[in-house]
Structure 1
Amino acid sequence: MSRIRAGEIRETLVTRRVSTVLSVDTKGRSFTEVTGAVSQFLATIGAGDGEVSLFCRHTSASLTIQENASPEVQLDLLTALDRLAPEHAGWVHDLEGPDDMPAHVKSVLTGIHLAIPVMSGRMALGTWQGIYLIEHRARAHRRDLVVAFVGDGG
């Protein structure tokens, strides 16, 4: 039988909203970890308790929280996404090449927004979790992520 335990309840009055744009240069179809950049943003603004959100301003790239210990996970995920949305599958939309429409499908599947609780200035990520921008296009791009913290100061 499963057992569920409640943790400490913390109440915070939201007094701040701080945002920035992170520009990420990708190397083509790949995962780029941005956890450190988001952590640095939280440290720079003196975040306390609240929530940090990330929003990808593109339709052919996306965001995910995924394992950050084994690079094989990222390789397997790229392979799985390619199987779900392969190039040359009869797509009608191909204005920017055969990877154009598959990139849009992969973005729909993985999502363009994340929200992460922040406790005492640190993201409440699990031990092996990292935040990744996924580039779905074959060639390199510069991608913009809007990062916003809502909460109190540390």
Structure 2
Amino acid sequence: MRTKRIDLRTGTSESITDITSACREFAANGGESGLLHVFVPHATAGIAIMELGAGSDDDLLASLRDLLPADDRWRHRHGTPGHGRSHVMPAMIPPYATVPVVDGRVELGTWQSVAVVDLNVDNAERHVRLSFLTSPAEGTG
């Protein structure tokens, strides 16, 4: 297994950050086939595979605002008002995704991208763990 950590700043407002190019670059190293696993080790962020741009980013953030309002209803109450919703969001947008890779090419659909979804305005520093898994060579154990 190969692995790499990428660091990013998601800012001080709700955000969707495109990490597709980092995923493609990492998967292309070696030209192998396997699985690219993308994981964000934070309790308040998720990984989405979706179309970015063309309004989809804004639609997702608007939907999350409707489903998870930033108000005082949350029992988890430290941080900015509504911070508790950031801890609920990864149950809807999980902190991981796995994408097939064929001959070093990430096999995303035409309009698909890999993105970090972050509602937490209290922490702009994020890390993403990319892991590339290959199967043992044919004919071995």
Q: TM-score, normalised by structure 1?
A: 0.81
Shift of 1:112: 0.4
Shift of 1:99: 3.0
Aligned residue type for 1:119: V
Aligned to 2:45: 61
Q: Runs ≥4 in structure 1, deviation > 2 angstroms?
A: none
Aligned to 1:136: 119
Aligned to 1:14: none
Could you say what secondary structure the match of 2:63 adopts?
A: helix
Percent identical pairs in the alignment equals 27
Could you say what secondary structure the match of 1:110 adopts?
A: coil
Moved more, 79-88 or 91-100: 91-100
Q: Quick check: which has more Rg, 1 or 2?
A: 1
Distance in 2 (alpha carbons) for counterparts of 1:90 and 1:69:
31
Could you say what secondary structure the match of 2:92 adopts?
A: helix
Preserved CA contact (<8 Å) 1:20 1:148: yes
Q: Deviations over 1:82-140 (max 9, x none)?
A: 11010225212111121311111112111101000000101110000000001111355
Preserved CA contact (<8 Å) 2:15 2:118: yes
Compute the RMSD of aligned alpha carbons. 1.4
- Say if 2:75 is the partner of 1:86: no
Whose strand fraction is larger, Structure 1's or Structure 2's?
1
2:92 to 77, 101, 109: 109
Shift of 1:55: 0.8
Moved more, 113-122 or 91-100: 91-100
Distance in 2 (alpha carbons) for counterparts of 1:74 and 1:19:
28
Q: Deviations over 1:3-54 (max 9, x none)?
A: xxxxxxxxxxxxxx100111111123111000001111122x3141100001
Could you say what secondary structure the match of 1:24 adopts?
A: strand
Preserved CA contact (<8 Å) 1:69 1:128: no
Gaps of 5+ in 2: 136-141
TM alignment of 1:5-20, pairs within 5 A: 17-20=1-4
